[in-house]
Chain A
Amino acid sequence: MNNRSKNCIAMLLAGGQGSRLKVLTEENAKPAVPFGGKYRIIDFPLANCVKSDIDTVGILTQYQPFELNSYIGNGQPWGLNRNFGGAFILPPYQRSKKTEWYKGTANAIYQNINFVDRYNPSHVLIISGDHIYKMNYKNMLRYHIEHGADCTIAVLNVSLQEASRFGIMNADADGKIYEFEEKPKKPKSTNASMGVYIFKWDVLRKYLIEDEADDTSSNDFGKNIIPKMLAGGKKLYAYPFDGYWMDVGTIESLWEANMDLLDPNSTFKLNDPKFKIYARNYSVSASRISKAAQVENSLITEGCDIEGHISDSIISTGCTVEKGAYVHKSFIMPGAVIGKNAHIEYAIIGERSIIGPGAKIGSEQDESGKLSISVVGNDRNIERNTVIQAGDVV
Chain B
Amino acid sequence: MKMFGIIFSNIYDAEMGELTRVRTVASLPFGGRYRQVDFVLSNMVNSDITSVGIITKYNYKSLMDHFGDASDWDLNRKNGGLFIIPPFSSGQTTVYRGKLEALHSALRFLESTDDEYALMCDSTIICNIDYKAVLKSHIASGADITVVANKDSEDTDTSQELVLSTTKDGKVTDLAIDTIPTPDQVMGMGMYIMERTKLIKIIEQSISHGLAHFERDFMQKQFIAGSLKINAYIFDGTVLRNKSISSYFDNNLSLLDRKISGDIFKTERPIYTKVRDEVPSYYAETSTINDCIVADGCVIRGTVENSVIFRGVYIEPGAEVRNCILMQGTRVKKGAKLTNVIADKNVLITDNTTLAGAPTAPYIVTKGLTV
Instruction: Enumerate chain A interface residues (CB-CB to B < 8 A).
Output: 36-38, 76-77, 270-271, 276-279, 281, 283-291, 293, 295-302, 305, 310, 314-316
Q: Knowing A285-B261, A288-B256, A288-B261 touch, does A279 contact B277 (C-beta < 8 A)?
A: yes
Interface centre among B264, B270, B308, B310, by most A CB within 10 Å? B270
Cβ-defined contact, B261 with A37, below 8 A: no
CB distance from B3 to the nearest CB of A (A): 22
**Top 9 A-B residue pairs of the complex, sorted by shortest distance between their CB atoms:** A286-B32, A37-B280, A283-B270, A295-B283, A301-B280, A285-B265, A286-B295, A299-B280, A281-B275
The yes or no answer to B271 lying at the interface (CB within 8 A) is yes
Chain B residues in 8 Å Cβ range of A291: 290-291
Cβ-defined contact, B283 with A297, below 8 A: yes
**B31 touches which one: A279, A283, A285 (CB < 8 A)?**
A285
CB distance from B127 to the nearest CB of A (A): 14
The yes or no answer to B285 lying at the interface (CB within 8 A) is yes
The yes or no answer to B58 lying at the interface (CB within 8 A) is no
Per-position 1/0 for B260-302, Cβ under 8 A of A? 0100110000111101010111111101011111111100000
**B283 touches which one: A276, A281, A298, A316 (CB < 8 A)?**
A298
Among B27-78, those with CB < 8 Å from A are: 31-33, 71-72
Q: Please, which residue of chain B has its CB at the minimum distance from the CB of A280?
A: B275
28 contacts between A and B (CB under 8 A): A37-B279, A38-B280, A77-B275, A270-B279, A276-B277, A277-B277, A281-B72, A281-B275, A285-B255, A286-B33, A286-B309, A286-B310, A287-B295, A288-B258, A288-B293, A289-B291, A290-B291, A291-B290, A295-B283, A297-B284, A298-B283, A299-B282, A301-B280, A301-B296, A302-B33, A302-B280, A302-B296, A316-B280
Cβ-defined contact, A284 with B270, below 8 A: yes
Interface centre among A37, A293, A302, A316, by most B CB within 10 Å? A302
Chain B residues in 8 Å Cβ range of A315: 280
Cβ-defined contact, A300 with B256, below 8 A: no
CA distance in complex: A289, B71 (Å): 30
Chain B residues in 8 Å Cβ range of A290: 290-291
Number of A-B contacts (CB under 8 A): 100
Chain A residues in 8 Å Cβ range of B33: 285-286, 302
CA distance in complex: A344, B274 (Å): 34
Q: Knowing A38-B296, A302-B295, A302-B296 touch, does A285 contact B280 (C-beta < 8 A)?
A: no
Cβ-defined contact, B294 with A300, below 8 A: yes
Per-position 1/0 for B286-327, Cβ under 8 A of A? 010111111111000000000011100000000000000000
Chain B residues in 8 Å Cβ range of A271: 279, 282, 297
Cβ-defined contact, A284 with B265, below 8 A: yes
CB distance from A178 to the nearest CB of B (A): 42
Interface centre among B258, B289, B295, B308, by most A CB within 10 Å? B289
Per-position 1/0 for B160-203, Cβ under 8 A of A? 00000000000000000000000000000000000000000000
**B287 touches which one: A283, A287, A295 (CB < 8 A)?**
A295
**B71 touches which one: A36, A76, A276 (CB < 8 A)?**
A76
CB distance from A286 to the nearest CB of B (A): 3
Cβ-defined contact, B284 with A296, below 8 A: yes
Q: Please, which residue of chain A has its CB at the minimum distance from the CB of B33?
A: A286
CB distance from A168 to the nearest CB of B (A): 34
Q: Knowing A77-B275, A283-B272, A285-B31 touch, does A300 contact B280 (C-beta < 8 A)?
A: yes
Chain B residues in 8 Å Cβ range of A293: 289-290
CB distance from A320 to the nearest CB of B (A): 11
Chain A residues in 8 Å Cβ range of B292: 288-289
CB distance from B251 to the nearest CB of A (A): 14
CA distance in complex: A301, B282 (Å): 9
CA distance in complex: A271, B312 (Å): 10
CB distance from B30 to the nearest CB of A (A): 10
CA distance in complex: A296, B301 (Å): 9
CA distance in complex: A286, B300 (Å): 15
CB distance from B323 to the nearest CB of A (A): 14
CB distance from A192 to the nearest CB of B (A): 28
Cβ-defined contact, A295 with B289, below 8 A: yes
Interface centre among A270, A278, A295, by most B CB within 10 Å? A295
